[in-house]
Structure 1
Amino acid sequence: MGGKLSYPHTEVSEDRTYLITGGNTGIGYQTAKSIAKLGGRVVIACRSEEKAKEAVEKMQKEHQEEKKKEEKKEEPEEPEEPIAPLNVEFMILDLASFESTMKFIEAYKAKGYPLHVLICNAGFGAGPKETSADGYEMHFQVNYLSHFLMTLHLLPLLRQSAPNSRIVNVSSTVHTHGVFNLENVNGEQSYDRLKFYGNSKMYQIMNMYAFERRLKDTGISVFSVHPGYVDSEFNRGTADNKLMSFMDSLAGTLRMKRNVQDGAMTTLVAALDTAHDGKSAIYFKSCKPSNASALSRKLEHQEALWKFSVDLLKEKGHLTDELLTDLTLPEPEPTGENKPEGEAKEEDAAAATAGGDAAEGEKKTEEAKEEKKEEGGGDASEKKEAVKEEAKEEAKEEPPKEEEKKEEAKEEENKEEEKKE
């Protein structure tokens, strides 16, 4: 599994608030407990009130026991003093329901808490085909869409708590098996449980990149993590599938699984490590930045997914234009590389004159004028469009860039490493 995993065990300010979905079990539980032990305020959002209560009580009990052991090692002769409880509480959230998600959002806002770090940890794992209360395929809604809805509504709180606010999406290396087909998000055409799980995790990563573009200079970082193959209750979703159950059992026998403590490490690095302050759009694996799949990095797919998701949630009445105002991307400014040639030459002429080379500036100005004469003085917007179309055709004919070849080779290396793990 590689070298020993670790995260910074530095004290966390009691003023910092961490919201973790699915924090009642597995790596979510371990993440919540670790952050609370460092001093932060933690809210776990869970579907079952009973299980959430049990989780909080268990955390408190373990904390008391562990703290007493530590104190006895350090000062065995000193009398025991009261140990402060962890600052952790629970709230009800069912990500398979938009109604529950919206109720949770309003309930969280009503508490008046700030929000410094949102950890989207809860998930539905490679189960048989199911449909949510809202009519969507379960992986799509639970793992991706409801988390997206919640993130959008809680962004104002993250902005207010910035700088160094963070959004952490718990993804998976299975995202490399995802396919991008927005016409099949509900399994209308076909369904494969592992592929749909991979799709939902790929959507989380695509969403990370889309948010990063929209949150520049806001002090909010967006990260995604692969926790590793973890021995937790999450794998119960595959119990009905004999082959997957066998593979899961075999992985345990061969000691290929991580325990929940190690499984939480990468999430804790993304949530806590100050070395990543001011950075964004990083995919972490084994506590280190790594490469997400080439498909998840395709900008046109990221933007198509964003529009698809926003339109869907607006249609359901859960998003407003006002909420999305600050998340509209500006139209990209044309650069010297894609501006019409005459326009680019005019700018070159102005730059040369401003730089003190009047003769060169005059020469370039004349060249620009001649260029316009040859074009016949037609409509400027039509010329721009013609240049754009020409550029597109030239781009199609261009051979793959060396950088893209390197990225593809790197991705193949990553897949080989995953097989070894």
Structure 2
Amino acid sequence: MQTHNNERTKQTPINSGFGPRTTAQEALGGQKLSGKIAIVTGGYSGLGLETTRVLAEAGATVIVPARTLDKAEASVAGIPGVEIGILDLMNPASIDAFAQRFLESGRPLHILVHSAGIMATPLARDGRGYESQFATNHLGHFQLAARLWPALKQAEGARVVSVSSRGHQFAEVDFNDPNYEHREYDKWMAYGQSKTANALFAVELDKKGKAYGVRAFSVHPGSIMTDLARHLTDDELRAMGAIDEQGERGFKETNDELKTIPEGAATIVWCAANKQLDNKGGVYCENVEIAEAIPADGSLFGKPGVYPWAMDSESAEKLWNLSEDLTGVKFTI
């Protein structure tokens, strides 16, 4: 267990007036987004698709990166102002090519949402040998944001939303062995590490970016039955209450944690565009509110709140340096 620096982000709720039943549409707060440009990874399924829809219907131009164009085009058909581009977060050359195409368009980037992700997958590695959950959920997005940095600065007021999870409570980042080269692989610990990394990325990006008007947030959307759960067995889902008596996958009831897709996308949209968060950043949010900081002593595991290791400034800086080393990509800030 690492010690954690006391200098942390200001994890203090702001009494937003929203809550767990708020929908993404409501979380926008009536904001008009005409003239704004957004990129939403994972923007053609689940929470990403709902985020795309709400931002686009508010007037934003939304670029949706996809590995499979046909699937993405079918998903976003009928949503106004959506463009699709080729991107594979496990492929560094694909990330660079996507970002380069966007930069060549000369447009600013007002909203960048890192929504794509994988969860609890069997051990797999990318072409560099990096563990797939860390590579997809964190490193790929780190590289994408680094390459798009000139467009984020150009916006003169941009927000980056990193979709983390309460799963960050499973594990902190193991800086000695982030890619499971020397320890036994555990799919949930690996997922937790990647989600902690998502939160720490927002801490450090916000610190580095605020002088340029770039603010960053991390989000726990809630538990929602989406394609993210495709690698889980029926037994695992049953233990989560995600299979009914008829054997159908899906949450039949909702509570503060179990949400519909419009509710699950609400905190993402809130962080992406709501004016309540103007001049704020570097915080972990859930239930359309800045989350409480809670101790990582096990007593509150699985409860709302953010653990110290996911908002620690020293860990955030350390992860940033590690990510630059692993990707070979530096932010030219």
* Alignment TM-score, normalising by the size of structure 2: 0.82
Q: Distance in 2 between matches of 1:34 and 1:213?
A: 28
Q: Equivalences for 1:191-210 in 2 at 5 Å?
A: 191-210=185-204
5+ residue gaps in structure 1?
61-85, 327-421
Match of 2:235 among 219, 242, 257: 242
Percent identical: 28
**CA deviation profile, 1:339-391 (whole Å, cap 9, x unmatched):** xxxxxxxxxxxxxxxxxxxxxxxxxxxxxxxxxxxxxxxxxxxxxxxxxxxxx
Larger Rg: 1
1:14, distance to aligned residue in structure 2 (A): 2.2
Q: Which residue of 2 aligns with 1:54?
A: 74
Structure ranking higher on relative contact order (CA contacts 8 Å, 6+ apart): 2
Q: Which residue of 2 aligns with 1:180?
A: 173
* 1:31 and 2:51 aligned: yes
1:9, distance to aligned residue in structure 2 (A): 4.4
Q: Equivalences for 1:344-355 in 2 at 5 Å?
A: none
Number of matched pairs: 290
Match of 1:145 among 139, 155, 160: 139
Q: Which residue of 2 aligns with 1:12?
A: 32
Q: Which residue of 2 aligns with 1:281?
A: 282
More helix by share: 1
Structure 1 pair 281–53 and aligned structure 2 pair: CA distance change class (3 A): same
Deviates more, 1:175-184 or 1:252-261: 252-261
Q: Equivalences for 1:13-412 in 2 at 5 Å?
A: 13-57=33-77, 59-60=78-79, 86-163=80-157, 165-188=158-181, 189-239=183-233, 242-244=235-237, 246-247=239-240, 248-249=242-243, 252-253=251-252, 255=254, 257-290=258-291, 291=293, 292-314=306-328, 319=329, 323-324=331-332, 326=333
Structure 1 pair 11–302 and aligned structure 2 pair: CA distance change class (3 A): closer
1:133, distance to aligned residue in structure 2 (A): 2.7
Q: Distance in 2 between matches of 1:11 and 1:215?
A: 23
Letter paired with 1:274: K
Letter paired with 1:304: K
1:12, distance to aligned residue in structure 2 (A): 2.2
> Does structure 1 conserve the Cα–Cα contact (< 8 Å) formed by 2:38 and 2:110?
yes
5+ residue gaps in structure 2?
1-18, 245-249, 294-305
Secondary structure of the structure 2 residue equivalent to 1:182: coil
Secondary structure of the structure 2 residue equivalent to 1:157: helix
**CA deviation profile, 1:240-286 (whole Å, cap 9, x unmatched):** x7334553326725545311111111101001101111111121100
Letter paired with 2:161: V
Letter paired with 1:43: I
Question: What's the RMSD between the two structures over aligned residues?
Answer: 1.8
Q: Distance in 1 between matches of 2:30 and 2:232?
A: 37
> Does structure 2 conserve the Cα–Cα contact (< 8 Å) formed by 1:56 and 1:89?
no
> Does structure 2 conserve the Cα–Cα contact (< 8 Å) formed by 1:238 and 1:245?
no
Q: Distance in 2 between matches of 1:162 and 1:99?
A: 28
